[in-house]
């Protein structure tokens, strides 16, 4: 069968891994004529190209921004280029460093246990809606400086933003409306912080006071940048944790070993990130010609990085389709690479450690009901939207 890859194709959305393997083997630099864009699928290629300065994010990074070009580009940190990007990143980056995560870990553990206390005793709960999403939005609020009680409202906006029609491309109008509500909310918070400046180690203050080229951002612009932190901080982690609960449930021997020796949990979370990366791909615009595999990717063409494919590349990982919590890979691509690598890497790793430890300690023999789980199956995001979890504590 000829290789014909279109990320929006329904069969690809339903099961992308087989076509990723064919792309890696047969066409590692694949040209998508209909979008005048390229797809890279091998680990090393993505790693190398992410590290060049031949890319721009200013025309967007989301699939529909790069490919169909029918998605508006909202000013957020992920669509800035250097030098503004470098400066804004360094203004907020320090807030998310490992030492700061170690400092808030006990508080996050307390939050995780409080949430589990609330659901303990129930026959079943939703591992995402009742636990992981609530935890990640609470941690995001703490790090950003937003009221924790606003968490459910923020989760609702972020979920509506992502819940786009599985049959259409890009975000639905409903999603864009939810994003606008989130940006408006963040803009109000920026205005408040500017009216009442406080010395704090919170992203809200860092963005409110940020200055580039001698100018502060307009309120709405700063609110938009802050929204990206809310989205990044609350959206992806629950899907990763839910996939991890699924894989550990499918491999009870590995689950039991982790329960017996929780020191393996950080590596297990790394394997979960590698195995089931929710974000299928992100894109860039090429700013100068790049030669790769005998082909030229030209200036102004689009380029997508198939991260979820790279994480299953047999050139990088031995038996990549095997889930193995003992694996110790040197690197994975679940947080991207290069200038736009995820700012929340250490937040996510700390959350993963805390949540897995708490769940395994309390519900070591949990059961899942995959039949009733609901899933995202879009060109952009794969993974659980809800996951019925039975504590099974007898």
Residue nearest to ligand HEM (CB): 344
What sign has the CA pseudo-torsion 62, 64, 66, 67?
positive
Contact between 232 and ligand HEM by CB under 6 A: the answer reads yes
Distance CA(179)–CA(228), nearest Å, equals: 10
- Residues between 88 and 117 that touch ligand HEM (CB under 6 A): 89, 96
**Site map 202..231 versus ligand HEM, x via CB under 6 A:** --------------------------xx--
Stretch of 111-119, 178-186, 236-244, 320-328 lying at the interface with ligand HEM (CB under 6 A): 236-244
Least Å distance, CB 154 to ligand HEM, is 13
- Quick one: angle between helices 219-250 and 345-362, nearest 10? 40
* Residue 172: HSE in the Cβ half-sphere, 13 Å Cα cutoff: 12
Determine the size of the site formed for ligand HEM (CB under 6 A): 26
The burial class, CB within 10 Å (0-12 / 13-18 / 19+), for 249 is middle
Give least dist CB 349 to ligand HEM, A: 8
Contacts of 96 (CB under 8 A, 6+ apart): 143, 343, 344, 345, 346, 347
Tell me: does residue 236 bind ligand HEM (CB under 6 A): yes
For ligand HEM, the binding residues in 296-355 under the rule CB under 6 A are 334-336, 340-344, 347-348
Q: What is the CA radius of gyration of the chain?
A: 21
- In the shown chain, the binding pattern of residues 270 to 289 toward ligand HEM, with x for contact by CB under 6 A and - for none, equals ---------x--x-------
Report whether 170 contacts 158 (CB < 8 A): no
137-156 footprint of ligand HEM as x/- string (CB under 6 A)? ---x--x-------------
Least separation in angstroms between residue 300's CB and ligand HEM is 19
C-beta of residue 371 within 8 angstroms of C-beta of residue 270 = no
- Looking at the Cβ atoms of 87 and 390, the one nearer to ligand HEM is 87
What whole-number distance in Å separates Cα of residue 77 and Cα of residue 92? 10
**383 interacts with ligand HEM by CB under 6 A:** no
* 258 versus 282: smaller Cβ distance to ligand HEM: 282
Question: Distance between CA 368 and CA 389 in Å, rounded?
Answer: 5
Shortest CB 195 distance to ligand HEM, Å: 25
One residue of 77, 182, 248, 387 binding ligand HEM per CB under 6 A: 77
Q: Which is nearer to ligand HEM, 43 or 237 (CB)?
A: 237
Q: Shortest distance, CB of residue 266 to ligand HEM, whole angstroms? A: 13
* Residue 89 Cβ vs ligand HEM, minimum distance, rounded to whole Å: 5
Q: Which of residues 8-67 bind ligand HEM (CB under 6 A)?
A: 61
> By CB under 6 A, which span of 66-74, 205-213, 235-243, 380-388 interacts with ligand HEM?
235-243
Interface residue list for ligand HEM (CB under 6 A): 61, 77-78, 89, 96, 140, 143, 228-229, 232-233, 236-237, 240, 279, 282, 334-336, 340-344, 347-348
């Amino acid at each position: 069968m000829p290789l014909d890859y279109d990320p929006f194709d329904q069969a690809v959305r339903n099961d992308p891994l087989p076509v990723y393997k064919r792309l890696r083997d047969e066409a590692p630099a694949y040209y998508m004529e209909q979008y005048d864009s390229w797809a890279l699928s091998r680990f090393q290629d993505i790693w190398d190209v992410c590290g060049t300065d031949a890319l721009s994010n200013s025309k967007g990074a989301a699939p529909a921004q790069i490919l169909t070009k029918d998605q508006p580009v909202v000013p957020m940190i992920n669509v800035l280029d250097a030098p503004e990007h470098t400066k804004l990143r360094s203004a907020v980056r320090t807030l998310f460093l490992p030492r700061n995560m170690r400092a808030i870990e006990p508080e996050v553990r307390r939050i995780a246990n409080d949430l589990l206390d609330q659901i303990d005793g129930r026959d079943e709960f939703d591992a995402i809606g009742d636990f992981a999403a609530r935890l990640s939005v609470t941690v995001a609020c703490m790090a950003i400086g937003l009221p924790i009680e606003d968490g459910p409202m923020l989760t609702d906006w972020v979920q509506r933003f992502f819940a786009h029609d599985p049959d259409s491309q890009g975000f639905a109008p409903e999603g864009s409306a939810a994003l606008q509500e989130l940006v408006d909310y963040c803009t109000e918070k920026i205005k408040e912080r500017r009216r009442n400046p406080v010395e704090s180690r919170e992203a809200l203050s860092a963005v409110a006071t940020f200055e580039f080229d001698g100018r502060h951002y307009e309120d709405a612009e700063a609110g938009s940048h802050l929204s990206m932190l809310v989205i990044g901080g609350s959206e992806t982690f629950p899907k990763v944790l839910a996939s991890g609960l699924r894989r550990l449930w499918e491999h009870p021997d590995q689950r039991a070993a982790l329960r017996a020796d929780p020191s393996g949990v950080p590596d297990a979370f790394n394997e979960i990130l590698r195995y089931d990366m929710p974000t299928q791909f992100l894109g860039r615009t090429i700013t100068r010609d790049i030669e790769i595999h005998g082909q030229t990717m030209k200036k102004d063409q689009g380029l997508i990085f198939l991260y979820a494919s790279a994480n299953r590349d047999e050139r990088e990982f031995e038996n990549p389709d095997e889930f193995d919590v003992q694996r110790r890979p040197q690197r994975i691509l679940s947080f991207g690479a290069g200038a736009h690598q995820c700012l929340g890497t250490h937040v996510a790793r700390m959350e993963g450690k805390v949540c897995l430890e708490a769940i395994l300690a309390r519900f070591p023999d949990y059961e899942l009901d995959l039949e009733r789980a609901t899933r995202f199956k879009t060109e952009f995001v794969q993974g659980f939207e809800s996951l019925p979890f039975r504590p099974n504590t007898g």
